[in-house]
Amino acid sequence: MNQFPYSFDNKRYHTYNYFLKNKYQQKIAKVSLNAGFTCPNRDGTSGKGGCIFCSDKGSGDFAGNIYDSLQKQFLDVSSIMRQKWPQCQFIAYFQANTNTYADIERLRKTFEPFINYPEVVGIAIATRPDCLSEEVCDYLYELSLKCDLYIELGLQTIHDTTAQLINRGHNYQTFLDGLSRLRKRNIDVCVHIINGLPYETYDMMLETAKAVGQLDIQGLKIHNLFMLKNTALHQMYLQKPFPLMSRETYISLVVEQLSYIPSHVVIERLTGDAPINDLVEPLWSIKKVTILNDIDKLMKEKDIYQGCLL
């Protein structure tokens, strides 16, 4: 019998699969969409070029085709998923770039058509904390009364020196302020952090997880840093190589990070995906299933559960 309460498959952390099946009582899949937004650190408002690790697709490498309507993007992807899971329902996931970086009328036109899709159980919106004004948060609260709403909020690191280096365009306090505005309206938030950012030490990355574990959040995504061709990060590395995180260190770090995350927080990701043809490093990240398996093995070996050190 599994000792950890929030998993169907004997894992020692709160799996996204458990959360979705427990909440909706059926198979749920995310459909990634590209609504054609930009970011304030791309268009010159708070910087240019975007985060140094992002491709020109703005973290939407697996999102829909920007040249298609959102409705067509959704239909194309959901039809493929239905071939595998005929009874599947969906979360419309606005993934690429910053999806609250627009006026309220555009946000309405972007999100609200999906409320009426019978096969859509909820909407997930990826955004940045510096694009969460009171007005935007008021609208998101209004939206949350009409559907299940999940905000995916990029943090990446609590360390402002790193945030400046990666051209993040905001500091940690801005993140805390944005999170506070969302939680005051009882909007669920999944935070993104990245392991392996340039010049961050193991202890710095652990500090980020410890800090996030103290916050009022409902979900967490842990990513490994990807170095993609033709990004500012790749150019930085070519000019002055910095230490890259090994597979073994990544696995050990994630296991230790999880021990500081409260058990009720849903772990949506423990490693990321990168377009293989554009990936420079780390090549070990391609074998995603083996990384997840080795995280499970190490947690069992060390008898670690999510939240066990809190």
Domains, the chain, in order of start with CATH, read: 16-301 (3.20.20.70)
Is 58 a residue whose pLDDT tops 50? Answer: no
- Give the pLDDT band of residue 66 (cuts 50, 70, 90): confident
Q: For residue 245, give Cα distances in angstroms to 54, 129, 165, 282, 283.
A: 18, 27, 18, 8, 11
pTM: 0.95
Query: Given this model, what pLDDT does residue 57 score?
Result: 57
Region 78-106: mean pLDDT is 95
Q: Among 60-64, 152-156, 166-170, 230-234, name the one with the lowest average pLDDT.
A: 60-64
pLDDT-above-90 percentage for the chain:
89
Place 1 in a pLDDT band, splitting at 50, 70 and 90. Answer: very low
| Residue-level pLDDT at 146 | 97
* Chain segment 99-124, per-residue pLDDT in tens: 999 999 999 999 999 999 999 999 99
212-217 own/partner pairs: CB under 8 Å, 24+ apart? 212/155, 212/158, 212/261, 213/260, 213/261, 213/262, 213/265, 213/307, 213/310, 215/176, 215/179, 215/191, 216/179, 216/183, 217/179, 217/189, 217/190, 217/191, 217/265
User: What is the per-residue burial (b if ≥16 Cβ within 10 Å, else e) of 19-32?
Assistant: bbeeeeeebbbbbb
Burial 227-264 (b: 16+ CB within 10 A, else e): bbeebebbebbeeeeeeebebeebbbbbbbbbbbbebe
